[in-house]
Chain A
Amino acid sequence: MLIFFYILKKYFFFNYKKGHMTMNIFLYIILILLFGLIINISNISLDIKWGFLYIICFLIFLFSLENIYQLDNEDGTIDLLYITKNSLEFFIFIKSLIHWISYGFPLIIISPILMIFLKININNLMISSLYISTLSLSYLGILCCSLIIELNNKLFFIIIIIIPLYIPIIIYNSHIEYIYNIYSIYIYLIIIMYISTWLTSFIIKNNKKNL
């Protein structure tokens, strides 16, 4: 438990001080408001409004994945964890969760308010779908970023690698009629959480071993 709070304090405050968190929230609000301002919301179907909100939330969270290993590269945390006998898998799991808490959770908190601006009737399933999408993106993202940990200009590579693996969640969560099948996506989320944690630590250990 103490380790969790230590990691939370370290990464959460690093993200906050960098200003990325506030910038993401600000960007999310501005884009949704502009959409509501420019286009006549009354004439647009629920499908399009929900799809737009979902895609903006997804893209903003995707852009935050670029810096997921930034602090670790700067202070050598992963090298230290590789050398010591502490569990790298546990660290990866907590790190993904904290990344979601820093970047994904604020977006979900303000989404109901922004749905009012888009005249979307707030539905529990919609909020659940946002939770699942961002959480699974956090775990997938940490896996995909571990594949390209040593490269510069990661965003292009992140998009290329994540999109194929993330398509099922996009399809089931961005279409209003599919959201009712959300329980199948819960299983996908659990599988992603398990596999990505294990695979990420495997990739990092392999990269460090061969350096």
Chain B
Amino acid sequence: MIKLYDYIKPIYFIYILTQLWFLLLLFKVILLTIICYFVTIVIKEDFQQSQNYNIIYIHVPSAWISLLLYSSIALISLFYLIYKYSLISSIAKILAIIGINFSLITLITGSIWGKPTWGHFWVWDARLTSALILFILYLGYIIIYDFYDNIIKTNSSVLAILGFINIPIIKYSVYWWNTLHQSSSISINQSTLDLPIMYTLFISLLFFMLYSINIFLFEIKKYFIIYKIETFYIK
């Protein structure tokens, strides 16, 4: 009987990845079409910010994904410290590479949006500063992971867990301090956003998540192929 952990074995995993690849591509194309339709035709221009407002469909999902990925990395690092299974640390590293890109996209799109809205590309706001700290934490994690040649990746895992304190700070910074960045428009019970905008936002979030999953699966497949080659040569 095939157990759940059998699917982590390279042979099963690579087979499943190949099947998923085209499916994910199809979904992404569909979602992108829907987003473009909503943005260009359905949703009207913002009365204050005009077309600048459309950055929300890149900025907000990127921010959410960078936070989600860092939280996942912290959790995975905790599991790594307990179980010391090298695949776990490799997964965390791949997530870190995806996360740092989204974190950078968040900062850049935020700056581009901030210039016409606030008049500055950057302000030392609580939300912006903590987002920058998140980027630096990602960078520190990847650097420590890569510069240690041995298999054991304890040090980077400890850093990831230590840096997790930044996640609630980013989330609640707009409530704890007087910030220029606006507070949350979406919560569990209610939303101040118009319905088409909210739906488009969630569809773009789904698109970016599928994109991240695509990259993640590609990198994992690469990891297994390299692992198989190394094992072959050692034998």
Residues of A near any B CB (own CB < 8 A): 146-148, 150-151, 157, 160-161, 163-165, 167, 199, 202-203, 206-207, 210-211
Contacts and interface: CB of A to CB of B under 8 A. Distances in A.
A164 B136 contact: yes
A146 B154 CA distance: 11
Given A157-B144, A202-B158, 20 more contacts: A148-B144, A148-B147, A150-B148, A157-B140, A160-B139, A160-B140, A160-B143, A161-B140, A163-B133, A163-B136, A164-B134, A164-B163, A165-B163, A167-B133, A199-B158, A199-B162, A203-B154, A203-B155, A207-B155, A210-B154
Given A151-B147, A160-B139, A210 B155 contact: no
A202 to B, nearest CB: 8
Contact of A164 (B137, B143, B148, B154): B137
A145 B56 CA distance: 39
Contact of A206 (B137, B152, B163): B152
Interface in B127-178: 129, 133-134, 136-137, 139-140, 143-144, 147-148, 150, 152, 154-156, 158-159, 162-163, 166
Contacts of B134: 164
A16 to B, nearest CB: 31
Interface of B: 129, 133-134, 136-137, 139-140, 143-144, 147-148, 150, 152, 154-156, 158-159, 162-163, 166
Contacts of A165: 162-163
A202 B161 CA distance: 14
Contacts, number: 50
A160 B132 CA distance: 12
Given A160-B136, A164-B133, A164-B136, A203 B143 contact: no
A148 to B, nearest CB: 7
A206 B154 contact: yes
- Scoring A146, A161, A163 by chain B CB atoms within 10 A of each residue's CB, the highest score goes to A161
Contacts of A203: 154-155, 158
B115 to A, nearest CB: 24
Contacts of A163: 133, 136
Contacts of A207: 152, 154-155
Contact of B143 (A146, A157, A199, A206): A157
Nearest to A166: B133
22 contacts: A147-B144, A147-B156, A147-B159, A148-B147, A150-B148, A157-B143, A157-B144, A160-B139, A163-B136, A164-B134, A164-B136, A167-B133, A199-B158, A202-B158, A203-B154, A203-B155, A206-B152, A206-B154, A207-B152, A207-B154, A210-B152, A210-B154
Contacts of B156: 147
Contacts of B166: 164
Contacts of B155: 146-148, 203, 207
A102 B155 CA distance: 27
Given A148-B144, A203-B154, A210-B154, A167 B129 contact: yes
Nearest to A160: B140
Contacts of A148: 144, 147, 155
